[in-house]
Amino acid sequence: MEGGIGKAGGGTARPGWREGLRGMFLFQVANSFAEQFGWNFLFLYAARSGLDYNGIALYFLAEFGSCILFIPLARRLDILKAMRWGLVLRIAAFALVLHVAWAGQFYIAGILLGAFVTLFWIPYNTRYLELTSDANRAQASAALFSLFAVLGAVLPVLSGTVIALWGFRPVILVSIAVLAGGLAFSFRLPPAGIMVVDLRATLPCCRRLLPLLACEGLWQGVFWLGVPLGLILRNASSEGYGAFYTMLGLLGGVASLVAGRWSDRQKSRGPLVVGAALSGGAFSLAAALFRADPAAWTLSMGMVYFSTYILFPFTFTVVGERSPDPATAMTVRELVTSIGRVLGGLIVVLSIRLTGGLPLALGAGGLALVGLAGSYMMTRRKGAGRRAQGARPDRRRAKLA
């Protein structure tokens, strides 16, 4: 990469890291806008287009199942060009469902999204890790997550209102326009280098992270599919659907502030991470128990989201610290979490089929968060043991070139 490469987990960030992150964050705004304003509503759009919960789940599984297949193919990527192609694929996925004639359009869109995840998120997060250091990564991660939360606090309720007045098509067209603007902006960014990964050679280097990533992915599969299906099963209007996501965005914003403040003032992340994971697990179990009470269910789901929004900036950070290099970290992370998301989605389908709702899925999601807490502590303990033994030779098998 031009200008040299900093190893993930290093103590010093590259010169100009603030400018680099600022450019990447601006690039991300367009993608996050489309996610919060448009794509989160495609579950509701699919339901109103005639898909039942099995069909909607299949769309979700098509996205992350295809992602599992695409990731091993991404061995060498120009970071900036890959992200541009990712946005092109997201635009194509939106365009594909602009007018729905048959259910298969959603499944094809899901496959396009799997390719988008591979081409956009892995290079984006790789570049992000390369620009940051151990000293500022958790704080920067909280800032990144707060971007999602701020947009999530405003856009869903606006989108729900637009859908109620004019239908889904204006939301899709606006999302396409914003993505096109982000794509155009990306040509103003400087080159970001080439990432090279030999997944077969590097996966063993990250084996200690696999339980943590699997638990994170399983919870995401349960929550990312369970929330929209839970709202659809409750016959939520587009305004109610949007209001629920806005509530999650507001709670996520507060959680990002908590995570950022803790990162500034405390050296040890363990108590906050474990506390947030256990809290999220407890509230997930509460949501399973109080599913018949809409107010209690909504409150419990909101607190699950709040807890995990505190948690995930730090789990993201520990993946970077415990991996041999940024490209390996983010490729392995996306692969293992995608496998977990597919398993979580299947658990959601099984829960609805057996109980007519989400109690089994939310229980499994809660246990996944408890498992994540234990995995995090084991990862930190092993990491501390390695530091006590002294530095080992750098045996990186994947690199940014």
**Residue range(s) defining the domain that contains residue 157:** 17-385
Lowest mean pLDDT among 61-65, 223-227, 386-390: 386-390
pLDDT at residue 150 in the model: 78
Burial of residue 325 (number of CB atoms within 10 Å: 0-12, 13-18, 19+): buried
Asked if residue 395 belongs to a domain, the reply is no
Asked if residue 366 belongs to a domain, the reply is yes
Asked if residue 165 belongs to a domain, the reply is yes
pLDDT at residue 18 in the model: 66
* Backbone Cα Rg of the chain: 20
| Mean pLDDT along residues 252-264 | 72
We report the CATH number of the domain holding residue 67 as: 1.20.1250.20
For residues 207-224, one letter each, b for 16 or more C-beta atoms within 10 angstroms of the residue's C-beta and e for the rest, the string is eebbbbbbbbbbbbbbbb
- The whole-chain average pLDDT of the chain stands at 85
Q: How confident is the model at residue 267 (pLDDT cuts 50, 70, 90)?
A: low
401 pLDDT above the threshold of 90? no
| pTM, rounded to two decimals | 0.87
358 pLDDT above the threshold of 80? yes
pLDDT at residue 380 in the model: 66
Q: Is the distance from CB of 175 to CB of 94 less than 8 angstroms? A: yes
pLDDT at residue 172 in the model: 97
337 pLDDT above the threshold of 50? yes
| Mean pLDDT along residues 340-345 | 98
pLDDT at residue 397 in the model: 36
pLDDT at residue 386 in the model: 45
Lowest mean pLDDT among 179-183, 340-344, 384-388: 384-388
- C-alpha to C-alpha distance for 201 and 205, rounded to whole angstroms: 8
Q: Is the distance from CB of 277 to CB of 370 less than 8 angstroms? A: yes
| Mean pLDDT along residues 109-126 | 94
| Mean pLDDT along residues 69-85 | 92
Q: How many domains does the chain have?
A: 1
Lowest mean pLDDT among 30-34, 84-88, 260-264: 260-264
H or E stretch covering 314: helix 294-321
Asked if residue 9 belongs to a domain, the reply is no
| Mean pLDDT along residues 306-317 | 85
pLDDT at residue 105 in the model: 96
Q: How confident is the model at residue 139 (pLDDT cuts 50, 70, 90)?
A: low
Helix axes 359-389, 270-289, angle to 10 degrees: 170
- C-alpha to C-alpha distance for 71 and 69, rounded to whole angstroms: 6
Nearest to 208 by CA among 371, 383, 71: 383
64 pLDDT above the threshold of 50? yes
Asked if residue 6 belongs to a domain, the reply is no
Residue 195: both structure tokens together: 């990432």
